[in-house]
């Protein structure tokens, strides 16, 4: 029996290809501290000392913001299309990998040595901070093998967070430089004699087997109407066992067992590559036994796509019409003073408002920050909107209208929720009504 830690590692490996696991410029807090310590020639203890004017959380958030800004400028200078990262629904590359959560001062040479074990590399782009990198393979099969082998593996004590990069992350195509070697007359024509055919070295056999492995490792895209809904599963049945059971009918593209809080819900989906194999399974696998349970099958319209099954959508920042910024996803332990300290770095503030919960001193996780001038507001927005974390939570920014009130925000949030219909979990509507009550109070700084 595997331990909880082993099970968690296996599940992380299985979902490593999901693009939404980590935001593009994710930085580990330890790496931020290391870089700040080196850059400002201060000890880690001094950086983490909360006796200064600003809290530790604000110091780390501002340090991360500066590192992200430097990384973005470096990537733009190296022909990286940063706009490609703004749309999470964009098609993903099968040769270019984002490598995140790297320790401070990682070198491109180190990454090249690790990733080149699985195939020939093109470009390796690593900003000076050495925390997020882009690694390009020349062959999709080798890229896939490298991705699967290295995702969540330890690199200098930190797990590697990997993500497939957007399809056109590089503005230019990679041009491979070929070395021209002198060819003798005896090398110019291949030897086609029987003796030459039999003279096969162990290395050449190994090379052929590796090529064959690469050829079968990349599955073709499934045809339409290839997903089978499987009901009455044993709660102990795993996705590997389910896949093995249905592979008798033909190549299986993917398998998904519905789970809630890590427990099987007793049903799942099997997607074949060919429609004919899906139809064959409906005829021949109906009522077959698997882990002492008789399976019930029917054709499903569901398409299994592990890389895009998140409900996350492209975030819209809106258009600047005022000096006011709507700040979302504020951690509940953050104080109004800390929010003020974070934004005051970029200009003079008029007000910082954090709506409170009814009959409670705790704020609701969002607020309004109003600057004196539009230029200062834009400066803060541009700096903090990409990847700034406060107490581990990513701060989400939108432009607010000058006269926008919390009542209008409640209405907007309710409309977004109701647009999902009844797909939310039970009591969600009730919780929403409680959260958007009309008797809100504010913390004003």
pLDDT per residue rounded down to tens, the chain (445 residues) = 556 656 655 555 554 444 444 455 556 677 677 777 777 777 777 777 756 677 888 888 888 888 888 888 888 888 888 877 766 567 888 999 999 888 877 889 999 999 999 999 999 998 887 778 999 999 999 999 999 999 888 888 888 889 888 888 888 888 765 444 444 433 443 443 444 333 434 444 444 444 343 333 445 667 888 899 999 999 999 988 999 999 999 998 888 888 877 788 899 999 898 899 999 999 999 999 999 999 999 988 665 544 444 444 445 566 888 899 999 999 999 999 999 999 999 999 999 999 888 777 788 899 999 999 999 999 999 888 887 888 888 888 999 876 666 566 665 555 554 444 444 444 454 554 444 444 444 455 5
Under DSSP, the state recorded for 100 is E
pLDDT of residue 262: 75
Under DSSP, the state recorded for 273 is S
Distance of CA 377 to the CA centre of its chain: 29
Under DSSP, the state recorded for 364 is -
Provide CB contacts within 8 A for 223, sequence distance 6+.
Answer: 273, 274, 275
Distance, CA of 202 to CA of 283 (rounded, Å): 46
Provide CB contacts within 8 A for 441, sequence distance 6+.
Answer: 355, 356, 358
386 C-beta neighbours (distance < 10 Å), count? 20
Distance, CA of 427 to CA of 430 (rounded, Å): 5
Structure tokens at 324: 């006011």
Structure tokens at 52: 């200064």
Distance, CA of 131 to CA of 124 (rounded, Å): 13
Q: Are 324 and 368 in contact (CB under 8 A)?
A: yes
- The label of the residue with tokens 């399974």 reads 281
Distance of CA 366 to the CA centre of its chain: 24
Distance of CA 66 to the CA centre of its chain: 21
Q: Are 402 and 377 in contact (CB under 8 A)?
A: no
Sheet holding 92-100, edge to edge: 121-125, 133-137, 92-100, 161-166
Domains of the chain in start order, with CATH, are: 4-166 (3.30.70.330), 227-302 (3.30.70.330), 324-444 (3.30.70.330)
443 C-beta neighbours (distance < 10 Å), count? 17
Q: Are 436 and 405 in contact (CB under 8 A)?
A: no
Q: Are 251 and 277 in contact (CB under 8 A)?
A: yes
Distance, CA of 344 to CA of 380 (rounded, Å): 9
SS3 444: strand
């Amino acid at each position: 029996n595997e331990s909880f830690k082993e099970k968690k590692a296996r599940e992380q490996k299985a979902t490593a290809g999901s693009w939404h696991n980590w935001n593009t410029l994710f930085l580990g807090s330890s790496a931020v501290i290391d870089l700040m310590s080196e850059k400002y020639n201060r000890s880690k203890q001094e950086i983490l000392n909360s006796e200064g004017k600003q809290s530790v959380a604000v110091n780390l958030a501002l340090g991360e913001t500066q590192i992200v800004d430097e990384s973005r400028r470096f990537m733009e200078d190296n022909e990286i299309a940063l706009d490609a990262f703004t749309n999470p629904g964009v098609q993903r590359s099968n040769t270019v990998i984002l490598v995140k959560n790297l320790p401070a001062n990682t070198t491109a040479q180190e990454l090249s040595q690790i990733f080149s074990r699985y195939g020939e590399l093109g470009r390796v782009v690593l900003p000076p901070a050495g925390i997020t990198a882009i690694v390009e393979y020349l062959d999709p099969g080798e890229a896939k093998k490298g991705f699967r082998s290295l995702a969540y593996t330890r690199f200098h004590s930190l797990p590697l967070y990997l993500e497939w990069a957007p399809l056109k992350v590089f503005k230019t195509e990679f041009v491979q430089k070929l070395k021209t070697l002198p060819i003798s007359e005896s090398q110019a024509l291949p030897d086609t004699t029987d003796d030459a055919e039999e003279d096969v070295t162990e290395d050449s056999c190994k090379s052929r087997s590796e090529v064959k492995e690469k050829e079968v490792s990349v599955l073709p895209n499934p045809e339409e109407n290839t997903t089978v809904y499987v009901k009455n599963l044993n709660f102990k049945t795993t996705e590997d066992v389910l896949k093995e059971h249905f592979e008798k009918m033909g190549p299986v593209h993917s398998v998904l067992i519905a789970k809630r809080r890590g427990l099987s819900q007793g049903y799942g989906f099997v997607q074949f590559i060919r429609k004919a194999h899906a139809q064959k399974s409906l005829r021949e696998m109906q009522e077959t036994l698997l882990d002492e349970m008789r399976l019930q099958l029917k054709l499903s319209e569901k398409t299994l796509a592990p890389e895009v099954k998140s409900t996350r959508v492209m975030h819209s920042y809106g258009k600047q019409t005022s000096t006011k910024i709507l700040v979302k996803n504020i951690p509940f332990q953050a104080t109004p003073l800390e929010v003020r300290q974070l934004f005051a770095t970029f200009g003079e503030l008029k007000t910082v408002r954090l709506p409170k919960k009814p009959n409670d001193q705790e704020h609701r996780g969002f607020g309004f920050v109003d600057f004196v001038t539009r230029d200062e507001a834009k400066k803060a927005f541009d700096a903090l909107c990409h990847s700034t974390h406060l107490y581990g939570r990513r701060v989400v920014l939108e432009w607010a209208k000058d006269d926008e009130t919390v009542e209008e925000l409640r209405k907007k949030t309710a409309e977004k929720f109701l647009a999902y219909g009844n797909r939310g979990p039970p009591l969600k509507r009730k919780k929403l009504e409680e959260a958007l009550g009309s008797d809100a109070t504010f913390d004003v700084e």
